[in-house]
Amino acid sequence: MTGRPTVVAFDVNETLSDMEPLRARFVGIGAPGHLLEPWFAATLRDGFALTLAGGYAAFSDVAAASLRMALSGIDDLRRDLEDA
């Protein structure tokens, strides 16, 4: 490789942020802790797809919509789905 790179990419998700406190929140509302990884992956997937399609939504909105989908199949939540 010669010269300087024109682009540098960093993967900061789950590298610079600790997701474990969120796992405890999942468990605290009655959801299985292992749901954290697929929920986060779905959040990223949906955000990327929305961006590639030319749309925009705040990360918190995408994450909340993905969380509603992830929790919708759990019958014994300790909270109302919208409060979770």
Tens digits of pLDDT across the chain (84 residues): 578 888 888 878 778 888 999 999 999 999 999 999 999 999 999 999 999 999 999 999 999 999 999 998 888 888 776 765
Give the span between the Cα atoms of 32 and 45, in whole angstroms: 21
Its pTM stands at 0.79
Per DSSP, 80 falls in state -
Residue 78: per-residue pLDDT: 82
Residue 42: per-residue pLDDT: 97
The two three-digit tokens of residue 27, written as one number: 């468990």
The two three-digit tokens of residue 8, written as one number: 């540098």
Residue 84: per-residue pLDDT: 59
Listed in sequence order, the residues at least 6 apart from 42 whose beta carbon sits closer than 8 Å to its beta carbon are 66, 69, 70
Other CB atoms closer than 10 Å to residue 70's CB: what's the count? Answer: 19
